Amino acid sequence: MTAIAHFHSSIEMADQLLLMYAELRRHRNLGRRGRLDPANQDLLSLPKSAVVASMSALDAYIHSVLYERIPIALRANPVPDALCDAMAEVLPVKNANTFRNALPILSSTDSLNQLCVKLREKSLGFVTYQAPDKIIAGYALIGQDQIFEDVANLWQGPRSSAADIKKRLAGYTKRRNQIAHEGDRDAHGNPRPMQPYYASDCRSFIDSLALRLNRAVYGI
């Protein structure tokens, strides 16, 4: 499965959550739109979960791209500087002991592949690619040093500059973190309000972003 096909499969979770929200509104005779009264505020957990699902789909997509493209970048001439820096952290050879630890990789039949595996185990697997700065750093590993500028060139319409796209993504990332790590409550413990359309807008934006990221790297 390609990275973008995996993304489409992952983001279906957000679609299912939004459909469930709409169905429960219908079941409770609340209409398709409108503010929820306190007795029905529990329904907002569904669009909030859809925001988390959308952002997780983006994270999974970027991981898939990096895992596929880093071995290619490592065989390029020249190898991207950011990838060289990352590999130097994965395989530091500063003395006899670190050389001894590195020897199994250096002597393997496919040492470059083993380096990629090590990078994934020690670093990439623990990075979340949702915030703009993390995405910029990730794509630099595969030689895409201006990824948001590349995306902006493929994005027509208003508020589609690289700065606009990064600002909007940063907002969704912040809200995702508030939902996932803070129970979406403010400093006083009160639930943060959310209009349900916010979740559908997030899902649409993330879908558009992933499609353009894919075109920037793969040309399709």
Alpha-helical (H) ranges within the chain are 3-27, 45-74, 81-90, 96-106, 111-122, 132-140, 147-153, 162-182, 196-218
Residue-wise pLDDT for 35-89, tens only, equals 777 878 888 899 999 999 999 999 999 999 999 999 999 999 999 999 989 988 8
Residue-wise pLDDT for 143-188, tens only, equals 999 999 999 999 998 999 999 999 999 999 999 999 999 888 888 8
Residue-wise pLDDT for 104-154, tens only, equals 766 666 777 888 888 898 889 999 999 999 999 999 999 999 999 999 999
pLDDT, mean of residues 21-37:
83
The average confidence (pLDDT) of the chain is 90
Half-sphere exposure of 2 (CA within 13 A, CB side): 10
pTM given for the model: 0.90
Judge whether 53 and 13 are in contact, CB under 8 Å. Answer: yes
Contacts for 178 with CB less than 8 Å, ≥ 6 apart: 184, 192
Residue 34: per-residue pLDDT: 72
Provide the 8-state DSSP code for 17. Answer: H
Provide the 8-state DSSP code for 92. Answer: -
Closest CA to 213 of 121, 120, 129, 126: 129
Q: Using CA atoms, how far apart are residues 16 and 124, in angstroms rounded to an integer?
A: 29
Q: Using CA atoms, how far apart are residues 51 and 44, in angstroms rounded to an integer?
A: 11
Buried b (16+ CB within 10 A) or exposed e, 116-153: beebbeeebeeeebbbbeebbebbbbbbbeebbebbbe
Angle value at C-alpha 53, between 3 and 179, nearest 5 degrees = 140
**For residue 199, which phi and psi values (nearest 5 degrees)?**
-70, -40
